[in-house]
Amino acid sequence: MKIYPYKQGSASAKALAQALGCKRLKVEGKPYTIKYGEVLINWGSSKPNREIEGEDILNHPKCVANAANKLTTLKLFKAAGVACPEWTENADEAFSWLQWGSMVVARHKLNGHSGQGIEIYDNPEDFYLDGWKPAPLYTKYINKDQEYRIHVAGGEVIFQQRKARKLEVPDEEVNWQVRNLAGGFIFANDGVVAPDGVLAVATKAVEALGLDFGAVDVLTTKKGEAYVLEVNTACGLAGRTIDAYVNYFKRYM
């Protein structure tokens, strides 16, 4: 096995390579041909900076590009019947959601991560203000009860995590709407058992994007509904998460 990282300094790609005892390819260089009996793990690269030839590649760059672009992701989810937040490219439609009492998430970066380019509206009067610029994507905000990260590989769930609040973060600094590290949340690993509906929709989401593996962010409502937010193709790895991926890749070999 060899790993092609989305950037040379990727800590998760380095950790995975060390755990597997395999090499990482340089991000830039001459064309690389996958040799007979060799498997290349594409870790999050949607546009490789070097030409890669061969068939035995896990997470083809074209499929990673599907996951990297939020609008493309949602279109493929819709086509495959994957439950996800209601979305639109039309600002007027998003404004009508606000008028009917729904919150709206504007995504100004289709390829953003960790909350990049997100703007949340909860009041129609704040939408069309001076200096307002349209976003390429709007989603209807869903009031969440729990949020999970489900790791899927080879059509199976290999690990489950749940977003949990960091207790040392003060109440006024916690962002309950965008539950990321900056908002005071971490991933809990111990004793996480997601509902069957969460596992099913996560598996379906990875398949819809044409991926071999991915870390799927899924939220649930108090009614028990499950919605996929996105699929990560180069997720953070530590401890038991690394073990899950190592075990899968070894089984694949």
**pLDDT value for 191:** 84
Spatial distance between the Cα atoms of 164 and 148, rounded to a whole number of angstroms: 9
CA distance 49 to 63: 16
Q: Put the strands of the sheet holding 137-140 in their side by side order.
A: 87-88, 137-140, 104-107, 118-121
The Cα 219–Cα 221 span in angstroms is 7
In whole angstroms, what separates CA 156 from the centre of its chain? Answer: 17
What class has domain 70-83+143-252?
Answer: alpha beta
Sequence spans of domains, the chain: 2-65, 70-83+143-252, 87-140
Helix (H) or strand (E) holding 136, with range, is: none
Instruction: Give the 3-state secondary structure of residue 213.
Output: strand
pTM of the prediction? 0.91
Q: Give pLDDT tens digits for 49-71.
A: 999 988 899 999 999 999 999 99
pLDDT by residue for the chain (253 residues), tens only, comes to 999 999 999 999 999 999 999 999 999 999 999 999 999 999 999 999 999 988 899 999 999 999 999 999 999 999 999 999 999 999 999 999 999 999 999 999 998 776 778 898 999 998 998 778 899 999 999 998 999 999 999 999 999 999 876 655 555 555 555 555 555 567 888 888 999 999 999 999 999 999 999 999 999 999 999 999 999 999 998 889 999 999 999 999 9
What string of DSSP letters covers 174-201?
Answer: --SSS-SGGGTEEEE-TT----HHHHHH
